[in-house]
Amino acid sequence: MEVKLLSDCLSRTTKINENNMNMEDLKRSSLVEMETKEENDTERKGNPTPELTTYGGIKLGWIQGVLIPCLLNIWGVMLFLRISWIVAQAGVALTILIVLLSALVCVLTTLSLSAICTNGQVQGGGVYYLVSRSLGAEFGASVGIIFACANSVAASMNTIGFCESLNELLKSNGLKIIDNDVNDIRLVGTIALLMMCLICAVGMDWETKTQNFLITVIVVAIAAYVTGAFIGPTSGVQQAQGFVGINLETAAINIWPDFRHSDGVNHNFFTVFAMFFPAVTGVQAGANICGDLKDPATAIPKGTFLALAISFTSYLAMSVLCGTGALRDASGNLQDLVNNKLDSCKPNCLYGLHNNYSIMQLMSLSSSFIYAGCWAATLSTALTNLLSVPRLIQALGVDRIYPGLIFFAKPYGKHGEPYRGYVLTFLVSLLFLLIANLNTIAPLITNFYLASYALINFCTFHAAFIKPISWRPSFKYYNTWLSFVGFVLCIAIMVVVSWVTALATLFVFIALYLLVLYRNPEGVDWGSSTEAHRYMELVWALVQASRPTHSTQSGQSAQAAHSARSYRPQLLLLAGRPPARAQLLHLAHLITKVGSFVVVADITESPLSYTEKTSRKQIGESWLRSRKIRGFYTLLDGFSFESGVRALIQSAGLGKLAPNIMLIGYKSNWMKDQPDSLRSYVRVIQLAFEHHLALAVYRASSEALRRRANKIVLRAREAAASPLARPQADIMNADSNLDISNTEGEKDDKTQLTNYGMEDMTKSLILKESNVSQTQLKSPSAEISLNTYNFEQPLLSDNENDSLDAWWLYDDGGLNILLPYIIARHKTKIPLRIFALAKAGLQITDAENRMRDLLNKFRIDYSSLTMVQGINKIPTQPSIDFFASLVQPVMRNESNECFITEAELDVHRAKTYRQLRLRELLLENSIDASLVVITLPMPRKGAVSPALYMAWLEVLSRDLPPVLFVRGNDSSVLSA
């Protein structure tokens, strides 16, 4: 047998090789396919998810995709236009410190970035994708927007640098376009920005070719500068303008800082750092286009670290050469050179490191190399920034995080280029370009970049600290605490550089974060470390909550030792399919609004397939979510009703988050249903008490609903008759297919709960909004039928004419008072009326005062208190006759113990009379209430037959408004 299997396997492999089949054709069948014995070709070949869908664009290696973009981004405007000014302000020593501090931030961030990039498959979206998949959509989207803004402004800054250099060239040759100042910058910058956006929009292949040319020009320019610095000045004019050649005397003069006032700012170490830091914000350039890389996990660490090493070495070298080869101040006068008084012009010198941004042209072999290098550096950095922003916007739009960005995410062409995103990027960059001042823009974006880097470091720290199972980066050279140091360092520098800008950045970040949190977009369950942290906290909280907080006496259960102050009603709702029990779910929602939850149970006797169960769960969970019900839907198949309830009682919930109240609907067809079904229903009630659960049974009889519907019509007529009435369409909606005129429900062969829910819930109940027609409004005598009543209408309304009546007949721990108080609390206008039995031998006034004191002690707000007397009186003859006719159809059949016998009636005659007398009091006092909450009689096991017990419940609820029977488990739920 084994030989045959091996032979079959080898022959199958040979056939695959011969036909050159795709390995995805060998994808194993799913559980559903194995179960249904059906294999769909589409499923077998596998449909890629939208997230993994890529366009057929060019894919780049680590040199073209990471190393060169990073170098171009780091070698930006500061390299040729501001590094000399930074040396003049900070001196050689502090400039080296600034470069090293920037390098430290970048290295720590790159370590964190490499860990994130190598932890799973990386898609397009750059920093947004990395952060959102690591920390969650809230963090990722927020930092993504900030980063997109920073890159857009950086593109403006570098374009301004290009224009500034061009202006210097024109000025040196006596030329100008408009004014050789800001207007020239705005004009030339707009044209340059538009051209670069067009180059990026053409596609990655054109942008890559452009980058190769630009990187060559920059390298040649750097080489020309270094060579020229070592050769030294070749004329007296160069010396007079401050280039004196590399020597120790100049190095000694320039070693220490000389901070001065410039552009309205009194500079210090951190203001100069803020000017320099945007020069090194290119470490993310490879990650920005990670979707266009062949192997992002390998390319990003390798290319980024090499780019850091090359670029920071060049910055250090050029800083030292500037500080050792040029003076801070020079007059440009040859006579001053002869007299050794080049700095006599201070503070109005025109040349030198402090005063001439173009001194590097002076030190180079030829100024042409520096101009070309400056233009290449600025334009290449701007090009890289402009390339990354639209893709980041596209990723945000595809994930539908911010609705306003969806429009800009549309892909075009075979490469999926986000042309609309390029238009948006151009407009944002143009807005900042019009400022036309490099020194104003540079500090502005420093905080944005630092905030982005802080989040990248925090992502790695958080994931490494929480250690979710999915955190398995192939890059092993990161460290948890180094990432944390990087996070703290970025935040500290942000605050020190400009606490105002830091606060503004924080405000923007929090606003964007809260927006995503509030919207809670669907389909963003990415397994982030935030979710893992939340899960771990939840598990820890559950474990801690399940531990006893104090010692209990021997023999006491944990439930008896709990504090009434921490009590929350946690419901186990036997509702079946949620759409069939809308009003029952609404009642559960009112009870659990206090910060609790409901477990909605659906028990079906027939076993269901995996597909059927999945579909049913999705419908149930979606129904709960759409109505904002805080609960969980659970489905049990292959269980009888009684055994399913027993299993749920014993297993539902975790620790102290287990249900403590079971809520079920009233069994309306108990007189005509099968005896086993009736026995099972009463047995479920007994099971709740046996397992120390409180119990609530809800009944909304057809007569009660009809009366309430007529009240709605009456109010609608009154509103329509009023001269201030709103249009009829505003009072109620149009049509309804709801029809519950037939009181007998059909039994669903899929579920045992059909007849255990709200009364008369049949298949004909189509849950749509109810309506009162114009004819019914105009007809004063017409009585509304139940087909106009909506079961999804609120159980209670904020109408002062409604009332909630609580009948506190027995002390069951206070649940009979707490639940109506909770329900009424969410309806501020509805009055809570309390009815209580007066103890025998007490004056009615004394009994009422005692009850008031008790309610005040428990801080229960109520509108009225009535002490009921005469509960022990003999009921009237009509009531006795009513009961006799009620139980006549269910008198005992000798072959079945479910029904009533004459002997049983005699034994329980006093209790029966008590229920009948209570019915009379209910009809007398609560016939107009919106909801009546009353203590549930106890079903003594073996003492009362199921039919007699149901007859008592029928007596207490028939012809009454919706009734909620409640019985606590004798544990106190009210705290003083």
Is 285 part of a structural domain of the chain? yes
Distance CA 408, CA 424 (A): 8
With tokens 């009233």, the residue in question is: 666
Point out the domain boundary residue: 740, 763, 795.
Answer: 795
Point out the domain boundary residue: 777, 795, 813.
Answer: 795
CA angle 809, 815, 816 (to 5 degrees): 35
pLDDT band for position 441 (50/70/90)?
confident
Distance CA 786, CA 782 (A): 13
For residue 357, which of 341, 378, 342 has the smallest C-alpha distance? 378
Same domain, 27 and 92: no
**What is the three-state SS of 784-800?**
CCHHHCCCCCCCCCCCC
List of residues 6+ apart from 556 with CB closer than 8 A: none
CATH code at position 748:
3.40.50.620
- pLDDT at res. 797: 60
**Helix H or strand E encompassing 833:** strand 832-837
The residue type found at 911 is K
For residue 583, which of 832, 826, 931 has the smallest C-alpha distance? 931
List of residues 6+ apart from 474 with CB closer than 8 A: 118, 119, 297
With tokens 């410039």, the residue in question is: 262
Same domain, 951 and 876: yes
- Asked whether the predicted pLDDT for residue 158 surpasses 70, the reply is yes
Distance CA 462, CA 729 (A): 54
Point out the domain boundary residue: 519, 554, 585.
Answer: 519
Question: What does the pLDDT average to over 849-857?
Answer: 86
Is 24 part of a structural domain of the chain? yes
Which range in 253-257, 581-585, 629-633 is most confidently predicted, on average pLDDT? Answer: 253-257
Q: 3-state DSSP call for residue 602?
A: strand
pLDDT tens-place string over residues 287-338: 766 767 788 778 888 899 999 999 999 999 999 999 999 999 998 888 888 8
- Ramachandran region of residue 46, left (φ > 0), alpha (ψ -120 to 50) or beta? left
CATH code at position 810:
3.40.50
pLDDT band for position 794 (50/70/90)?
low
Is 226 in contact with 379 (CB distance < 8 Å)? Answer: no
pLDDT tens-place string over residues 221-244: 999 999 999 999 988 899 999 999
- Asked whether the predicted pLDDT for residue 720 surpasses 60, the reply is no
**What is the three-state SS of 891-948?**
ECECCECCCECHHHHHHCHHHHHHHHHHHHHHHHHCCCCCEEEEECCCCCCCCCCHHH
Distance CA 328, CA 89 (A): 9
Is 947 part of a structural domain of the chain? yes
Is 535 part of a structural domain of the chain? no
Same domain, 868 and 785: no
Same domain, 823 and 952: yes
**Cα 815 from chain centroid (whole Å):** 35
Same domain, 22 and 165: no
Task: Say how many CA atoms lie within 13 Å of 570 toward its Cβ.
Answer: 15
pLDDT band for position 787 (50/70/90)?
very low
pTM above 0.85, yes or no: no
Is 347 part of a structural domain of the chain? yes
Is 454 part of a structural domain of the chain? yes
Looking only at the bridges linking them, the beta strands covering 265-266 and 261-262 are antiparallel
Same domain, 723 and 814: no
- pLDDT at res. 917: 93
Same domain, 223 and 242: yes
Question: What does the pLDDT average to over 919-945?
Answer: 89
Higher pLDDT, 785 or 262: 262
With tokens 């059906």, the residue in question is: 38
Is 900 part of a structural domain of the chain? yes
Higher pLDDT, 159 or 828: 159
Same domain, 916 and 835: yes
Question: Which residues constitute the domain of residue 687?
Answer: 570-795
Query: Hey, which bits of 478-628 come out as E strands?
Result: 571-574, 598-604
Q: Indicate the number of domains in the chain.
A: 4
Largest CA distance in the chain: 134
CATH code at position 257:
1.20.1740.10
For residue 914, which of 804, 809, 805 has the smallest C-alpha distance? 809
- pLDDT at res. 753: 38
Query: CA dist 702 to 100, 332, 709, 758, Å?
Result: 80, 103, 10, 10
Is 960 in contact with 706 (CB distance < 8 Å)? Answer: no
Question: What does the pLDDT average to over 938-958?
Answer: 89
Same domain, 635 and 751: yes
Is 878 part of a structural domain of the chain? yes
For residue 805, which of 659, 962, 931 has the smallest C-alpha distance? 931
Task: Say how many CA atoms lie within 13 Å of 658 toward its Cβ.
Answer: 17
Same domain, 260 and 227: yes
Distance CA 732, CA 522 (A): 32
Same domain, 509 and 586: no
Distance CA 357, CA 86 (A): 10
- pLDDT at res. 709: 58
Same domain, 601 and 505: no
415-429, 769-783, 959-973: which has the minimum mean pLDDT? 769-783
Q: Find the distance separating the first CA and the last CA of the chain, reported in whole Å.
A: 77
For residue 541, which of 673, 654, 670 has the smallest C-alpha distance? 654
Distance CA 674, CA 297 (A): 66
Question: What does the pLDDT average to over 64-78?
Answer: 86
